[in-house]
């Protein structure tokens, strides 16, 4: 499976991440079973700085909206300001309880010129990377884009 994201939806993730910085952004990506993301649903982060935990009621409402729209929960995304796009030990612990992908948007808030987007899925006790395709551009492990 690969995740397919339009440039507009990617920009939503980028904008949300920069707006809430230095906190981590969090949200859900909903779409079609084939991996095409159709909607970004931002959630309020109620965790302390450097961690993420979605507001439970907002998450419930978002999951309900996804189901009502006939879409599927494809991924949970969160940001890593000033960090890399690898899953932290806490992220790995969280990921093993979900069947969807986990997307990490890492960026440098000081410049906004460099970012990295990676997706992972937890399967049978191990983590696998999921390709992310944005507007025809395949972003693979350790591919950092310069947006200057």
Q: Confidence class of residue 5 from pLDDT cuts 50, 70 and 90?
A: very high
d(CA 40, CA 5): 10
Give me the domains of the chain, ranges plus CATH numbers. Answer: 3-146 (3.40.140.10)
10 vs 50, higher pLDDT:
10
3-state secondary structure of 131: coil
Indicate whether 102 pLDDT > 90: yes
CB 17 within 8 A of CB 106: no
* Global pTM value: 0.86
d(CA 128, CA 90): 16
Which of 4-18, 102-116, 118-132 tops mean pLDDT? 4-18
Burial of 81 (0-12, 13-18, 19+ CB in 10 A): buried
Characterise 60 by phi-psi region: left (phi > 0), alpha (psi -120 to 50), beta (else).
Answer: alpha
pLDDT value for 138:
47
What DSSP element (H or E) covers 57? helix 56-68
pLDDT value for 82:
87
d(CA 145, CA 147): 6
Annotation marks residue 128 as catalytic = no
CB 35 within 8 A of CB 72: no
The one catalytic residue in 14, 23, 24, 116 is 24
3-state secondary structure of 69: coil
Percent of the chain at pLDDT above 70?
Answer: 90
pLDDT value for 112:
64
């Amino acid at each position: 499976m690969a995740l397919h994201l339009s440039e507009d939806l990617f920009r939503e993730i980028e904008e949300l991440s920069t707006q809430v910085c230095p906190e981590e952004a969090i949200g859900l990506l909903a779409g079609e079973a084939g991996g095409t993301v159709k909607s970004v649903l931002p959630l309020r982060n109620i965790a302390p700085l450097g961690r993420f935990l979605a507001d439970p009621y907002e998450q419930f409402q978002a999951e309900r909206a996804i189901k009502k729209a006939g879409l599927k929960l494809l991924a949970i995304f969160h940001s890593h300001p000033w960090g890399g796009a690898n899953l932290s030990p806490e992220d790995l612990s969280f990921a093993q309880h979900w069947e969807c992908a986990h997307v990490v948007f890492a960026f440098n808030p000081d410049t906004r010129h460099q970012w990295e987007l990676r997706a992972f899925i937890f399967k049978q006790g191990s983590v696998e990377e999921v390709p992310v395709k944005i507007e025809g551009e395949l972003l693979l492990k350790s591919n950092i884009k310069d947006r200057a």
